[in-house]
Chains A and B, each alone.
Chain A
Amino acid sequence: MAQVFHPRQLLLLKGIALGALLAAIAAAFLYRVATQAPVARNVPVEQPIPFSHKHHVGDDGLDCRYCHSSVETSAFAGIPSMATCRTCHSQLFTDAPILAPLFDTRSQRAPVYWNRIHQLPDFVYFNHSIHVAKGVGCSTCHGRVDEMPLTWRVASLEMQWCLGCHRAPERYVRPRNRVFDMSWQPPANQLELGRRLVAAYHIRGTRALTDCSTCHR
C-alpha cells in the first residue's frame, strides 16, 4: 500500500528529532548560567563612589589593613567606616563631586550602599583571619587589586575552587610576611616552599581541611 510519509517529510521528522535533542542540551547550559553567582566574574562593578583600589593601593601604597582593619582578627575583613575615608578626604578632593556621598553620610545621614563583590552562600562560614594567619595572601583570592581601577571578582568562589586549595594548600601558601604583598608571585620552587610552609604553619592535613564541618555548620 501507499507510504504514509513522503521521504521529504521523513527528513523533516528527523530534523525535528535532532532539534529537540539540541534544545535539551541548550536548556542544560542555560541552567548552568542561571545558577551563576550574582556578580559576574572579571567584570568591574559600578559603585556609588567610583573607588579605585589601583589609586589607593597601587599609587598611594596604602596597606590593605588600613581600611580592612579586622582582616587579621575576625571572619569579616571589615569595611572602612566613612570616618576612615575622611581621615584623608577631609583634606583631599573635598569638593570633588564624586566624593559627595562621602559627606552626605554625615550631613544627610544617607549611608553609602557599596555593591558586594565577593559573596558566599550563607551556609558557608569563611573566616579571613585564619587564612591570613596561615599564609594565604590577599592576591591569591582577590587578584591584583592594586591594578583594579574599579574592583572586580577574579575567583569563581565555587566549592570546587575552595577545594582546589584545601586539597593542596602547598600550591598557594606564601610566607606570612608577604600575605599583604600584592606583587608576590609564586616562586619556581613554590611546591617545595609550600610544603615547608604547610609544615611550619601547622596547616591541617587534607582530610581535616576537606571536612564538611570546616566550612559548613
Chain B
Amino acid sequence: MAGQEQVLGAPSSQPVLRGSYTYASITDKIADTVLERPTHWAWAVGFAVSASLTVLFIVAMSYLFAKGVGIWGIDQPVSWAFALTNFVWWVGIGHAGTFISAFLLLLRQRWRTSINRFAEAMTIFAVAMAGLMPILHLGRPWFFYWLIPYPNKMNLWPQWRSPLVWDIFAIGTYIIVSILFWYMGLIPDLATLRDRAAQRWKQVGYALLALGWRNDARHWARFEIAYLLMAGLATPLVISVHSVVSLDFAIGNTPGWHSTIFPPYFVAGALYSGFAMALTIAIPLRATFGLQDFITARHLAVMAKVMLACGLLVTYSYLVESFMAFYSADRYESFMLLNRMTGPYAWIYWTVIFCNVIVLQTLWFERVRASPWMLFAVAILINIGMWLERFMIIVVSLHRDFMPSAWGMFYPTFWDIAILAGSLGAFALLFLLFVRFLPVISMSEMRKLVKERRESSS
C-alpha cells in the first residue's frame, strides 16, 4: 500500500478510516443514517430549498416548451449561452465521480472507498442535469430524437460529421454505464438494508432493489469480477466524454473555439470542477451526519491535491491558449483574446483567472488543505470559476467573431437564471433523497477496509 501512498504523497499518519470499528459497528453506523436516525434539521432545510428550486425548474421548462427558446437572452450572434454552459459544466462535474469510483478502483486506491458511493451518485445526478440541457436548448425539442439514428419514413439519417451527434452517443453511454456501475455497487448494501429494515414496506422496497442478493460466496465472486469489468468500462469514459463535448466547440470555426488543445483542456477542467463539487458536497455531508471517521481529513487533503493538479493543468491551458493567439498571428484569434481581457465581458475573464488560477494556489499550503471550511470556500469559488470559464468560452467568443457589423451582446433573462438555479435545485434534491434512502458510503467495501486494517495491525 505504501506505493500508492506515495502516488498521492499522503502521509501515512493520516488513516483513511478512524476510530475502532468492527464489521457490525461500521454497518450500524452507516445503515442507521438511512434506517434509524431521524431527519436532521439541516437535511430538512436543504430539502425545502432544493424542492422549491426544482418547482421553479419545472415551471421554467414548461414555459420554455410553450414559448420557445426566445424567452432566454440568446440572439444573433450569441445563439448559445446558458443552456450550453450549464451542459458543459454539469458534464464536467460528473467526471470526478467516475474518476474516483472507477479510475481509482483500478489503481487500487483504498482511500476512494468511503467517498466513491456518493461521488458516483453525484455523477449520475450531474449527468442527468447535463443531459437535459441540450434538449431544452433545441428550437423544436419535440424532434430531439431526429439526432438518434433510427429507420424512418423519411429515409433520413443523422449527419455524422456533426459533433452534436457524437454527443448523443458520448452522453448516452456515459449515463448508462454510470447508472449500472453505481447500482451494481449498491446491491450488497441494499441487501444489508433489506435485512436490517424493521418495517415491512422498507423490506419490500429494498428487497426489490437488492435483486435477491444473498451474500452468497458465489455472488461475491461474480460481483467482484463484474464490478472490476464495469470499472474498466467506465474508466475510458472519464477521458472520452468530455473530449467529445469539447469537440462541439473545437470543430467550429469561431475564434476561441477552433483550437486543438480543447480535449485535454476540457478533461482537466472537468476533473477540476468535479473534485471541487465533490468537496462542496463531502464537507457538509460529513459534518451533518457525523461521518468524520469515514470521510477523514486525509480524504479531503487528497482530493485537494488532485484538484491542485487538475487546476494547474487548466492554468497551463489558459497560458497555451494565450500564447497560441499571439503566436498564430491570426487577426481574429488575437482579437478574441484581447476582447476577452479588455472587452465588455472582461470582468468574466478576470473572475475566471482569480477563481481558477489565483485561489487555486492556496492549496499548496498544508494549513488550507487541513481546514475543511477553507477547502469548502476554495471549492465553491472554483465551481463558480469553472462555470464562468465555460460561459466565457461560449458567449464571449460568439459575441464578436468575424463580421463587426454582426457583433452583439448577450444579456441573461430571468428564465436563463431560472434554468440554472433550477438545475442546481433538482441536483441537490436528488442528492438529498439519495442520502436519506441509500447508504452514502459503501458498507461492504468499508468492511473490507476494517478487515485489511485488522490484518495489517496483527
Q: A residues engaging B (CB < 8 A)?
A: 1, 4-5, 10, 13, 158-160, 163
Q: Which 10 A-B pairs have the closest CB atoms?
A: A4-B207, A159-B154, A158-B153, A160-B155, A4-B203, A163-B155, A160-B153, A1-B195, A159-B153, A4-B204
Q: Which residue of A lies closest to B214 (CB)?
A: A3
In the complex, whether B399 has a CB less than 8 A from a CB of chain A is no
Q: Which of B146-180 contact A (CB under 8 A)?
A: 153-156
Near A by CB (< 8 A), chain B positions 274-324 give none
4 extra interface residue pairs, beta carbon distance < 8 Å, beyond A4-B207, A5-B207, A13-B208: A159-B153, A159-B155, A160-B155, A163-B155
Residues from chain B with Cβ under 8 Å of A158 in the complex: 153-154
A160, B207: Cβ atoms under 8 Å? no
**Bound CA span A96–B195, Å:** 85
Q: Are B194 and A4 in contact (CB under 8 A)?
A: yes
Give chain B residues whose Cβ lies under 8 Å from the Cβ of A13. 208
Chain A, Cβ-Cβ closest to B195: A1
Docked-complex contact A160 and B203, CB < 8 angstroms: no
User: In the complex, what residue of chain A is closest to B153 when comparing beta carbons?
Assistant: A158
Residues in A whose Cβ lies below 8 Å from that of B204:
4-5
- Prevailing SS type, chain B contact patch: helix
Provide the bound-state CA to CA distance between A163 and B208, in Å. 50
How far apart sit A4 and B203, CA to CA, in the bound complex (Å)? 7
A210 to chain B, nearest CB (A): 9
Query: What is the CB-to-nearest-CB distance from B408 to chain A, in angstroms, rounded to a whole number?
Result: 29
Give 16 pairs: A residue, B residue, CB < 8 Å, sorted on A: A1-B195, A4-B194, A4-B203, A4-B204, A5-B207, A10-B212, A13-B208, A158-B153, A159-B153, A159-B154, A159-B155, A159-B156, A160-B153, A160-B154, A160-B155, A163-B155
B interface residues (Cβ-Cβ under 8 A, vs A): 153-156, 194-195, 203-204, 207-208, 212
**How many residue pairs bridge A and B at CB < 8 Å?**
19
- Cα–Cα distance between A151 and B237 once the two chains are bound (Å): 58
A102 to B154, CA, bound (A): 40
- What residue in chain A is nearest B208 (Cβ atoms)? A13
**B210 CB to closest chain A CB, in angstroms?**
9
- In the complex, which residues of chain A have a beta carbon less than 8 angstroms from the beta carbon of B208? 13
Nearest to A163 among chain B residues (CB) is B155
Whose C-beta in chain A lies nearest to the C-beta of B207?
A4
B154 / chain A contacts, CB cutoff of 8 Å:
158-160
How far apart sit A40 and B328, CA to CA, in the bound complex (Å)? 63
> When chains A and B are docked, how far (Å) is the Cα of A159 from the Cα of B155?
7
Question: Smallest Cβ distance from B139 to chain A, in angstroms?
Answer: 16
The smallest beta-carbon distance between A158 and chain B, in angstroms, is: 4
- A5 to B207 Cα, complex, angstroms: 8
A159, B156: Cα distance in complex, Å: 9
Instruction: Give the residue name and chain of the A residue nearest to B200 (CB).
Output: A4
Give CA–CA (A163, B152) in the complex, Å. 13
B194: nearest chain-A partner, CB-CB: A4
Shortest CB distance B284–A (Å): 34
Provide the bound-state CA to CA distance between A163 and B207, in Å: 54
Chain A residues in 8 Å Cβ range of B207: 4-5
- Residues of chain B within 8 A (CB-CB) of A159 are 153-156
Q: How far is the CB of A4 from chain B (nearest CB, A)?
A: 4
Docked Cα-Cα span, A5 to B214, in Å, equals 13
How many angstroms from the CA of A159 to the CA of B153 in the assembled complex? 6
Separation of A5 and B194 alpha carbons in the complex (Å)? 12
In the assembly, what is the distance between CA of A10 and CA of B154, in Å?
43
- Complex CA gap A68/B154 in Å reads 29
Quick one: closest A residue to B152, CB to CB? A160
Nearest-neighbour CB distance to chain A for B212, whole angstroms, equals 8
User: Which residue of A is nearest B206, CB measured?
Assistant: A4
Instruction: Return chain A residues, CB-CB under 8 Å to B155.
Output: 159-160, 163
A13→B208 CA distance, assembly (Å): 9
Considering the chains assembled together, what is the distance between the CA atoms of A160 and B155 in angstroms?
6
Query: Which residues of A sit under 8 angstroms from B203, Cβ to Cβ?
Result: 4
Docked CA distance A163–B157 (Å):
14
